[in-house]
Structures are given as C-alpha cells and as structure tokens.
Structure 1
Amino acid sequence: MSVVRWWFSPVPLARVAVFRAIVYVFLVWSVLFLTNDVVGHGYAAELYQPTLLGRVLPFPEPSVPVAYGLLAIIVVGSFVAASGRLPRAAGWTVAVAHTSWMVNTQGFAYVSHDHMALMIAVILLPTIGRARFDDTTTSESAGWVFRCIQVATVATYAGSALAKVIYNSSLTAWANSSIFSWAVMRRGSFLVDWTLQVPVVLRVGQWGVFLLEVLTPVVFWLRGRWQVGMICLFFAFHLMTYVALGIHFLPTIVCWLTFFPLERLVPHARTAWLRASGRVASWRPALQQS
C-alpha cells in the first residue's frame, strides 16, 4: 500500500547516525541554556501544575536534587548516545529523563510547542539501534522514525494555525488582530520598531505567517529544490523572528533536518579532517583502489 510505503520509506543508517549526533549534542545545549529553569523550579514546587502527560505518568515532583539528577543523566547519556555507543540503553535513559525534564519545565504555566518534534525524536531514535556514519544500509524502521519526526515538525505549524482558529472562533480574527504590534512593543528590536508606524506591514506579516502555517503540510508533496526551498522559507522566517523579536525555534529547526540527505556530510567532513591533518593525498589513492 502506498500509505505504508510512505510511512516506512527507508533511509540510510548513516543519515540516522548524523542526525542522532546533532540531536543529542543539541539536547545538552538545550537543557543547559534553553530549558534551564528546572533547577529553579525546585525552589517553588508548590506552583507546579503538570500538564496532562505529567498527570498521567509517574514523573517526580519538582525538587532541586531531582533537577540536578535529571541534568546529569541527560548530559552524560546524550554524549554517550551521540557517539553511537549503547544507542538503545543510553537513548532510552535520555528519553525518560528528558521527558521528565520537559514535563517539569512546561508545568509552570508556560508550554513551548517548539519542543514537540524534538521530544518525539528523542523518544523514537533509540528504537533504531546501531547506526554508523559510514553505513549506507537503508532501514524501514529508521524511515518510520524519521517520518514520525517529520510529521511532528509539520504538525507544530499546522497545529499552531488550528489553535489560532479554535481559540478565536474565527478563521480571520488572529490574522486581523494587533498581535504583532503587541509583540513589537513588548520585545521588538530597533530593527522593527518602525513597523509600529506602518501597521499595514504588521497586518500583512500576520496573514503571511498564518497562511504559511496552514500550508506547511504541502512540504510532503514537494520534491527536490521545491521542498528545500519551502524548508528554507521556514528557516528564513525563524531567522526573521529572532532578529526582530528574539524568538527562535531551534528545537524545531533541528528536526527539519530529517528532510535532508545528512549522510552526504560524512565524506565532506572526512575530507576536511584529512586535509587539515595533511593526509588527504594518501587517502585519495586508497579510494581509487577501492
């Protein structure tokens, strides 16, 4: 069936190895600098109001010792998993600890939907098992994991558009509101302050963002340069929001990488390393003989 083939479209295990390394290294940065409020939450545990996931699953209540314990597990486990060693044991350990970490950080009246796809990636990557950077073998199970991450990435935007419609009970209320004006006044940089004097620019921007979110699923039907172009459009959008408002979607941007042939980075990285070490001349004849 075409639906089954779409969900289980095989991908090279080398792509898995590259993406896995990127995800786990990013995870260390995330818990240290991005979602680094969990330790602080331990001092105000009485304010904890867990989301549905936190209420259903037996995650520990916020406390300073628990926070430092989770941090140590995530950091150490992520470096082990990124190296390709113990991909299942280290991966599952990090998945449980990171999910607990995110339930904690989202249980204090703020939910950041930009982490949804990343959480899916961390939970599902251990199911693939071993994957080497030079392994060109394709895997349907890896394809399923990548497709799930891709769907979660796209759902981040499509779900945001749906939420705008549901909470405003209108297809046009959000796009015609003054939300961008409020955002610029609250946290806008000097680069966009001028837009407050030209409100039509902000209104057009709101409609552009809303339509872009609605059309996100189209990326699955695009191929080649068209697909790359649409994904780069999202990258440009996030760069713009970061420059203008200091808002980034780095966790989601990382997950967009599942659409790219990351395995092609391996020979380029190897060549650069050999050239830097002065051994590229002796490496090329070996490739020609093979």
Structure 2
Amino acid sequence: MAGVVKALGRWLTEAVPRGRIAAFRTLVYLFVVGDLLIFTPWVRDHATVPGALYQPLFVGRLLPLPTPTPALVSVVFWALLVLALLAATGRAPRALGWSVFLLYFEWMIIAMSYGKVDHDRFGLLVALAVLPTAGRARHGDPTRTEAGGWALRVTQIAVVCTYFLAAWAKLRFGGVEWLTGSVLARAIIRRGTELADVIAQVPGLLIAAQFGIMAFEILSPVVFLLNERWRNRAVAFFYSFHVVTFATITISFAPHLVAMASFLSLERIRPIVWVRRGLRRTDGRKRTAGPAPDQLADPAGGAP
C-alpha cells in the first residue's frame, strides 16, 4: 500500500520545465481577459437584473456571496481585467494569481446563478486555483519543478473529469436511452450549421455519434495510461472532437480547451525568444548589406 501511495505521489508531482508553467500561466490569464471581453461580456448585464432572479449556486449560498449590484459587477469586471493582464506577465504569481482566481470565481457565480450552468469552465477554474502554487517561472526556463508539475497534473485531472462526469450525468439523468435518443438531432435543430444538416441526412449517423461520444467520455481517463507519444495523439483527438462540435452545433468549449493545454509541451512555444531572434537576424542582415549609398561619402566631405 505504501508503494502505491509513493507512486501516486510521484505521478501527481512529476516535475515539468518551469518554461511550461510560464507559458501555461500566460495563456490562462490572457484567456481570462479574452473571456471578459469576448465570451462572457453578457455577465455585466446581470448588474441590472432584479435581485429576486438571482438564485446563487450552492457555493454562493454556502459562503454566502452578495447579490450582484451594478457596483459589484463593475468592480469585479475592471479589477479582474487589470489583474489578469498583470498576472499574465508572471510577476507576483501568488498575490496576483490568488486575486485573479477569487475574482473570476465570483464572476462565474454571477454568470451561472440565473438558471444556466456551463460545465466547460471547471478545468479553467481549477487551473486558476492551482497556478498560484507553482511559484515563479520564466519563459524558456528548462529547470524542472515538482510544484509546477502538481499544478498541471491537477488541471489535467479536472479536464478528464469534465469528460467522464459528463458521461455519468448523461446516464444518470437520461439513462441508457440517451444513446438511442434524439439528443444530437435536437441540438442540430436548435443551433446546427450547414455541415450538421448534411450529416443529419445520413441514416443512423447521429445515433452512432452518440454512442461514440459516450465511449469517448467514459474512456477519457485512459489518456493517463499512455506514453507521451500516444498521449499527445489522444489530446489531439480531444481537440479535434471540439473542432467538429463547434463546426456542427457551434459549441466552442473555449475555457476547457485552454485548460487542456496543460497536457502540451508549451515550453517549446517561446514568442519572446522568437522576437529577439528575429530582431537579431534583421540587425545581422543590415550589417551584412553594408552602409547605404548616401553613407559612402568621402570622409573629407567630398563625393566618392
């Protein structure tokens, strides 16, 4: 038993390059900014909704959190926007990280306490909760960190739980009849694209797709048993699944896709280094090209 516990501990804290943490941190915090401006700006409209319509989620009742007001929503929005931009730079990872998590948590409570709860933000919320524990990290730093590895692993577990628990919810509330029902057909009628209309005309394809979705979600934890090569392929399949989902029924799962980047070797993406290299190459070309014609004047002031 002790051996199993030690093995689990090593797996949970498998060290990763600090550069990967820095890249993931920047991606997550920049997405928070984009989320406020692009994906969930409608949350600000809740500031003017009558308080009687506010039905807080369980955690909102447990704490308890205040009923949204124009002042509260504005403070959360602007504070979160500024602090997320600062956090994306990697400075003060704990102070800024915890602040962004708490503010975004409140933003989600305000967003989801009026009758609709999206499950695509679970992984992102977990990422925001654990990133402050990873400590400082610089882009391109190859030094390995167990604290950062734990933060990424916990985020990965949240991503996989999103799939697995979605399958459980389907079976819990829809039963096995979900597999042979008209779930996808209804989704296509409500928000389907032209591609979805073409697919819907193929006999039996939507039912087969529902069986495929259930199998994919139930088997998603297998990704942790794969070696790096096959794990990357599995994650690529996860992303392709969401590309098809968006192309057919326009559901993006953008927050989930950002959290799923915790599986990727993001330390290989080094935009700052690329910019510096580009500037060096440009400077090198200028030096190789030599001085411009108007710089070839005679030192005494005459023409050459």
If the length of structure 2 is used for normalisation, what is the TM-score? 0.87
Tell me how far apart the structure 2 counterparts of residues 269 and 211 of structure 1 sit (CA, whole Å): 41
TM-superposed deviation, 1:75: 0.8
Q: For residue 255 of structure 1, what is the aligned residue in structure 2? A: 259
Q: For residue 296 of structure 2, what is the aligned residue in structure 1? A: none
Pair 1:72-2:78 in alignment: yes
Alignment check: 8 A CA contact 1:39 1:63 kept: no
Instruction: Identify unmatched segments of 5+ residues in structure 1.
Output: 283-290
More off after superposition, 222-231 vs 173-182: 222-231
Instruction: Name the amino acid aligned to 2:169.
Output: A
TM-superposed deviation, 1:250: 1.1
Pair 1:216-2:216 in alignment: no
Q: Give the one of 18, 23, 36 matched to 2:41.
A: 36
Q: For residue 278 of structure 1, what is the aligned residue in structure 2? A: 281
Instruction: Name the amino acid aligned to 2:273.
Output: R
Tell me how far apart the structure 2 counterparts of residues 24 and 51 of structure 1 sit (CA, whole Å): 24
Tell me how far apart the structure 2 counterparts of residues 72 and 277 of structure 1 sit (CA, whole Å): 38
Instruction: Identify unmatched segments of 5+ residues in structure 2.
Output: 1-5, 286-304
Alignment check: 8 A CA contact 2:135 2:148 kept: no
Tell me how far apart the structure 2 counterparts of residues 196 and 14 of structure 1 sit (CA, whole Å): 45
If the length of structure 1 is used for normalisation, what is the TM-score? 0.91
Identity of aligned residues (%): 36
TM-superposed deviation, 1:273: 4.1
Q: For residue 229 of structure 1, what is the aligned residue in structure 2? A: 233
TM-superposed deviation, 1:12: 1.4
Q: For residue 99 of structure 2, what is the aligned residue in structure 1? A: 93
SS at the partner of 1:131?
Answer: coil
Listed as ranges, the matches of 1:1-290 within 5 Å are: 1-44=6-49, 45-168=51-174, 170=175, 172-266=176-270, 270-276=273-279, 278=281
Instruction: Name the amino acid aligned to 2:36.
Output: V
Deviations 1:12-68 (A, max 9, x none): 111110000000000101122212222111111321111111111232311121111
Tell me how far apart the structure 2 counterparts of residues 272 and 84 of structure 1 sit (CA, whole Å): 18
Q: For residue 301 of structure 2, what is the aligned residue in structure 1? A: none
Q: For the pair shown, which has the larger CA radius of gyration, 1 or 2?
A: 2
Instruction: Name the amino acid aligned to 1:215.
Output: L
TM-superposed deviation, 1:277: 5.4
- Relative distance call for 1:186 and 1:83 in structure 2 (3 A) is same
Tell me how far apart the structure 2 counterparts of residues 180 and 134 of structure 1 sit (CA, whole Å): 43
Alignment check: 8 A CA contact 1:271 1:280 kept: no
RMSD value over aligned CA atoms?
1.7
- Relative distance call for 1:182 and 1:139 in structure 2 (3 A) is same
**How many residue pairs were aligned?**
279
Deviations 1:160-214 (A, max 9, x none): 000011112x3x2111110111011111111221334334111111111111001
- Relative distance call for 1:185 and 1:6 in structure 2 (3 A) is same
Tell me how far apart the structure 2 counterparts of residues 146 and 125 of structure 1 sit (CA, whole Å): 8
Tell me how far apart the structure 2 counterparts of residues 271 and 98 of structure 1 sit (CA, whole Å): 31
More off after superposition, 29-38 vs 73-82: 29-38
TM-superposed deviation, 1:279: 5.0
Instruction: Name the amino acid aligned to 2:243.
Output: L
TM-superposed deviation, 1:159: 0.5
Tell me how far apart the structure 2 counterparts of residues 280 and 116 of structure 1 sit (CA, whole Å): 46
